[in-house]
Amino acid sequence: MALAQLKLSHATFYTLTLSELAELIEAKKQEQVEEYKRLAQLAVWITAPHLKKPLSVDKLVKFENEQKRVTKEEKEKELKALEDELG
């Protein structure tokens, strides 16, 4: 990812510290999230006249940092319920 998507030269890449590289990667991820949100907003605007109940950006896209966190207990409870239901 470092050289291609971050558009870094080999010389620049090898002079970066790990924390600087991590910051660049995080910034690139945030840039991609913003681009996806812009595209989702366009999709909402385009489809809105054709739908009775228009969509929202939040309904179209869920991002890693916005996804619901599930505790281990909740996960085990859901799995147990599925096992009971499916036999």
Cα–Cα distance for residue pair 25/23, rounded to 1 Å: 5
Please list the pLDDT of the chain residue by residue as tens digits (87 residues): 557 778 888 888 889 899 888 899 889 988 988 999 999 999 999 999 998 888 888 888 877 665 566 788 888 888 888 888 776
Q: Which pLDDT score is estimated for 67?
A: 54
Q: What is the sign of the dihedral through the CA atoms of 26, 27, 33 and 36?
A: negative
Paired tokens of 22:
């991590």
Contact present, 44 and 60 (Cβ < 8 Å): yes
